[in-house]
Amino acid sequence: QVQLVESGGGLVQAGESLRLSCAASGRAFSSTVMAWFRQAPGKEREFVACISRDGDRTLYGDSVKGRFTISRDNAKNTGYLQMNTLKPEDTAIYYCATRVSSILTITPPLYDTWGKGTLVTVSS
């Protein structure tokens, strides 16, 4: 079983950037599809991005496309989410998740391991 720990969240102003990290331990990280989701207060969990096992395929949610970049370093058992041009509506708890599969998916229940999340707050 993979354990996941997110870091890198914080308070920034609109237009600024942040990079989130997801450190994985346990079962081989490289055998999993990795994703980022987010959840704002009072809203449902929203798909942000996912990346294939070897990093050659990615998917993005429409609200972050062109601003966020997902990546991974399997040698370091770490995934990343580079977030640029942040907006107040990006404010949420960001979660890292993995699933043992070669298939990319945006559906939260199909991910079997989740971190506890890191809070990102974007002020206007």
Residue pointed to by tokens 């996912």? 50
What is the chain's mean pLDDT, rounded?
A: 96
pLDDT tier at 26 (50, 70, 90 boundaries)? confident
pLDDT tier at 100 (50, 70, 90 boundaries)? very high
* Average pLDDT of the residues in 84-99: 98
pLDDT tier at 2 (50, 70, 90 boundaries)? confident
Sequence-distant contacts of 64-69: CB under 8 A, at least 24 apart: 64/90
Residue 99 has pLDDT above 80, yes or no: yes
pLDDT of residue 28: 82
Residue type, 53: R
* Average pLDDT of the residues in 78-91: 98
Distance of CA 60 to CAs 11, 71, 104, 105, 124, Å? Answer: 23, 12, 11, 10, 24
Of the given ranges (4-13, 27-36, 50-59, 83-92), which has the lowest mean pLDDT? 27-36
How far, in Å, CA of 54 to CA of 41, rounded?
Answer: 33
Do the strands 10-13 and 118-123 form a parallel or antiparallel pair, or are they unpaired? parallel
119: left (phi over 0), alpha (psi -120 to 50) or beta: beta
Residue 108 has pLDDT above 90, yes or no: yes
Residue 71 has pLDDT above 80, yes or no: yes
